Structure 1
Amino acid sequence: MAQPPRIAGPVAQPRRPRIAPPPGAVDSHAHLFGPEARFPYAEGRGYTPPDAPLESYLALLDQLGLARGVLVQGNAHGFDNAVLLDALERAPDRLRAVAITDTRIPAATLRGWHRLGMRGLRFHEHAAEAKPGYVRGVGLEALPHFRAVMRDLGWVVQVFCDHRRLPAIAEDLAAISAEMPVVIDHMLTVPAARGIADPGFQALLRLVGEGKAHVKLSGAYRLSKDFPDYRDARPFHDALLAANPNALLWGTDWPHTSIDAAVMPDDGALLDLFMDWTPRAEDRVRVLVENPDRLFR
């Protein structure tokens, strides 16, 4: 049987940011992978990452001057969140996490995860014309199974959403936001060439402006082909910041899955980019400290 393709790993020695982040700053989106000998990768995955273990991630936080991080289950580990639970047990003062799971998991298990520091579940919404040919999470159709316990625990509903899909589910997300926070990944990953007039991005701006969705100002390199400065992604960042800085988070997206080694972003450069694109000190504090504190406690 053909093995899933091996992908490149992150920059081994990212540079220190030019401007130190504010005290208490949070990386709100990163993944852990392996070590494979202890945390095997899932059958049916779409890629095989090099190991990106907890020790490497904590070293990255230190290098960037970040106090804490929010880990998000990576698809290479499927529905087995053991790598996250282990990290939460080992670094409880620095980490929170968001899981991916299916409806076989009972409410009692989620409550146990909460005590360790789990703070949400991630769902994937794919456009009909772009569904992956491998197992990649569950859609929002699984949310009713979890909704009551997530509401009781104050968890976030995190959504990796295709920009073409958002207009059709925007009202559903607004309704969910009345019960628990909704967080959209990576500025909706709209191809930068489409511009901010893209219908999906405009639907996102309305949700953000009305306080019905939070967005991660992460993955500029996933929108852009303009390595390493991603200038064509800046209008998306600027529009979201103008819409509602109280609804924004920032994350490295380390270790940058499925990015070619030739255009692998430097995490220090990504933090510099955020600081350059977010010039007001009060906005930096909101995005890096106050908003993640509120959502992930």
Structure 2
Amino acid sequence: MEFQKTPGWLDWYSGPSKPTFKLPAGAVDAHCHVFGPGAEFPYAPERKYTPCDASKQQLFALRDHLGFSRNIVVGASCHGSDNRATVDALLHSNGKARGVATVKRSVTDEELQAMHEAGVRGVRFNFVKRLVDFTPKDELMEIAGRIAKLGWHVVIYFEAVDLPELWDFFTGLPTVVVVDHMGTPDVKLPVEGPQFQLFLKFMREHSNVWCKVTCPERLSVTGAPALNGEQNAYQDVVPFAKTIVDEFPDRVLWGTDWPHPNL
């Protein structure tokens, strides 16, 4: 089956430079994706976008090029609740990857166990309205209770403006909770303003909450796309990331977000 990429979305960049420093032993790219390939793992009919194909082989080549030891492969919304592409990547990683899946209430215990054996260790709840359709919170809480028995965590992806509405749900989750992309703050607003301060309060009051310092290329409103060697492109995001890292150094994760097709 052939898929046409959504207009305006990018192919992944094929010529990244190497880091100017050696990464620590055991360093993990804690947020990345595989897309398809669509001919092998078709994109979901309900998807909100169609990306370029980005295979496990290309992801693992990037891992080695940058000097990471392992990957956390996060199931992308373009695949819906079909986790075959993610699981396939885990099974071919030679033990160097773990995964985060997207599941529905209908998932069976046997399916969860099979994913666990493949290397899945979390589920992702996506609340970004432009990317997914609404799922009732009671359904998500039921899923969280089931995966908690496996020792998995819950990844939450949401827009900062929606945190007040989602607060009670997030604080009721019975697992470790990992926030995608710093809670997607509006970086036009001040770090000291109420929106970002509410997110910091969320982390301060809940020691089970971790944060991914990722996605500056989509949060930035001043930086040029980091293509063709562009450096220091996302300075407007730095104060937000630095605040999180300084206050919660033992609960911070980092990832490439490869292949970031909507840069």
Normalising to structure 2: TM-score of the pair?
Answer: 0.89
Name the CA distance, whole Å, in 2 between partners of 1:208 and 1:33: 31
The residue number in structure 1 matching 2:159 is 162
- Is the CA contact 1:101–1:138 (under 8 Å) kept in the aligned structure 2? no
Q: CA RMSD in A?
A: 2.0
**1:9-28 equivalent positions in 2, closer than 5 A:** 9-28=11-30
Give the 3 Å change call, closer, same or farther, for CA 242–222 of structure 1 in structure 2.
same
Unaligned residue ranges in structure 1 (runs of 5+): 260-297
Q: Find out whether 1:152 has 2:154 as its counterpart.
A: no
Give the 3 Å change call, closer, same or farther, for CA 144–152 of structure 1 in structure 2.
same
Candidates 42, 66, 72, aligned match of 1:40: 42
Give the 3 Å change call, closer, same or farther, for CA 110–199 of structure 1 in structure 2.
farther
**1:187-266 equivalent positions in 2, closer than 5 A:** 187-210=182-205, 211-225=207-221, 226-227=223-224, 228=226, 229=232, 230-259=234-263
Give the 3 Å change call, closer, same or farther, for CA 89–50 of structure 1 in structure 2.
same
Q: Residue 189 of structure 1 aligns to which amino acid in structure 2? A: T
Candidates 179, 185, 190, aligned match of 2:180: 185
Unaligned residue ranges in structure 2 (runs of 5+): 227-231
- Can you list the C-alpha shifts for 1:230-264, whole angstroms capped at 9, x where unaligned? 001011111101221111100100000322xxxxx
- Can you list the C-alpha shifts for 1:154-188, whole angstroms capped at 9, x where unaligned? 11110101101112322432332xx3110110011
> Percent of aligned pairs with the same residue?
34
The Cα of 1:92 is off from its aligned counterpart by 4.3
**Per the alignment, in what secondary structure is the counterpart of residue 194 of structure 1?**
coil
- Is the CA contact 1:25–1:67 (under 8 Å) kept in the aligned structure 2? yes
**Per the alignment, in what secondary structure is the counterpart of residue 155 of structure 2?**
strand
**1:130-145 equivalent positions in 2, closer than 5 A:** 131-132=129-130, 135-136=132-133, 138=135, 140-145=137-142
- Is the CA contact 2:177–2:209 (under 8 Å) kept in the aligned structure 1? yes
The Cα of 1:151 is off from its aligned counterpart by 1.3
Name the CA distance, whole Å, in 2 between partners of 1:75 and 1:116: 20
The residue number in structure 2 matching 1:272 is none
**Per the alignment, in what secondary structure is the counterpart of residue 100 of structure 2?**
strand
- Can you list the C-alpha shifts for 1:178-210, whole angstroms capped at 9, x where unaligned? x31101100111121112234342222122234
Candidates 172, 175, 178, aligned match of 2:172: 175
The residue number in structure 2 matching 1:266 is none
Higher relative contact order (CA 8 A, sep 6+): 1
**Per the alignment, in what secondary structure is the counterpart of residue 170 of structure 1?**
helix
Q: Residue 160 of structure 1 aligns to which amino acid in structure 2? A: Y
The Cα of 1:139 is off from its aligned counterpart by 6.0
Name the CA distance, whole Å, in 2 between partners of 1:66 and 1:136: 34
The Cα of 1:71 is off from its aligned counterpart by 0.5
The Cα of 1:138 is off from its aligned counterpart by 4.1
Flag as ranges the 4+ runs of structure 1 deviating above 3 A: 134-141, 197-200
- Is the CA contact 1:98–1:118 (under 8 Å) kept in the aligned structure 2? yes
Name the CA distance, whole Å, in 2 between partners of 1:191 and 1:139: 26
Name the CA distance, whole Å, in 1 between partners of 2:125 and 2:136: 5
